[in-house]
Chain A
Amino acid sequence: MRGVASYLRLVGWCALALQFPAGALELSLPGEPIQVHGFVSQGFIKSNANNYLAESTRGSFELTEVGLNFSKELTDRLRVGVQLFARRLGPLDGFNANFDWFYLDYRWADWLGIRAGRVKLPFGLYNEINDIDSARVPILLPQSIYPTSNRDFLLAQTGGEIYGRFSLGAAGALEYRAYGGTIFLRATTPPNSPYQIGTFNAPYVVGGRILWEPPLEGLRLGGSLQALRLDADFFFNPSLFGPLQAAGTLPPDFTGKVSVQIPATLWVASAEYSAGALLLAAEYSRWYVSLDSSQTLLFPNLATTVSERVYGMFSYRVNPWFHPGLYYSGYYPDVSNRSARANMQHDAAATIRFDINEYWLVKLEGHFMYGTAVLDVSLNHDRPLTDLQQTWGVLLVKTTAHF
Chain B
Amino acid sequence: MTSTALAVSAFAQSRQGLPAFRVIVHPSNPVATVDRKFLADAFLKKTTRWSNDQAIRPVDQRSDSAARNRFSEEVLRQPVDAVKNYWQQIIFTGRDVPPPELDSDDDVVKYVLKYPGALGYVSGGASLNGAKVVTLQ
Contact = CB atoms under 8 A, between A and B. Distances in A.
Contacts of A165: 46-47
Given A71-B97, A276-B78, A317-B82, A128 B47 contact: no
A355 B89 CA distance: 16
Interface in B27-78: 46-49, 55, 63, 77-78
B6 to A, nearest CB: 12
A276 B88 CA distance: 17
A98 interface: no
Contact of B47 (A23, A110, A275, A277): A110
Interface string A107-122: 1011000000001100
Nearest to A177: B95
B79 interface: yes
Contacts of B92: 37, 39, 67, 69, 83, 129, 131-132, 134-135
A402 interface: yes
B84 interface: yes
B129 interface: no
Q: Which of under 10, 10 to 19, 20 to 34, or 35 or more describes the interface residues of A? A: 35 or more
B89 A358 contact: no
A101 B93 contact: yes
Nearest to A72: B97
A107 B48 contact: yes
- Chain B's interface size range is 20 to 34
Contacts of A274: 78, 82
| Chain A binding surface, main DSSP class | strand
Nearest to B96: A79
A243 B20 CA distance: 85
B48 to A, nearest CB: 6
A71 B94 contact: yes
Contacts of A317: 79, 81-82
A253 interface: no
Nearest to A38: B92
Given A35-B97, A358-B84, A132 B79 contact: no
Interface in B87-128: 88-89, 91-94, 96-98, 101, 117
Contacts, number: 78
A387 interface: no
Interface in A35-90: 35, 37, 39, 67, 69, 71, 73, 76-77, 79, 81, 83
Interface string A318-338: 001000000000000000000
Contacts of B96: 79
A217 interface: yes
A229 to B, nearest CB: 25
Contact of B81 (A131, A135, A218, A355): A355
Nearest to B98: A24
Contact of B94 (A76, A101, A109, A173): A101
B137 interface: no
A103 interface: yes
B4 interface: no
B16 interface: no
Nearest to B78: A276
B42 to A, nearest CB: 10
Given A69-B94, A101-B93, A129-B92, A320 B79 contact: yes
A69 B129 CA distance: 37
Contact of A109 (B46, B49, B91, B97): B49
Contacts of A110: 46-49
5 contacts: A83-B94, A110-B46, A120-B93, A129-B92, A217-B77
Given A37-B97, A77-B55, 18 more contacts: A24-B91, A67-B92, A69-B94, A76-B117, A79-B96, A83-B92, A83-B94, A120-B93, A134-B88, A135-B85, A135-B92, A165-B46, A277-B82, A317-B81, A320-B79, A320-B81, A355-B81, A402-B88
List the 5 closest pairs (A to B, CB-CB), nearest first.
Answer: A76-B55, A128-B93, A135-B88, A132-B92, A135-B89
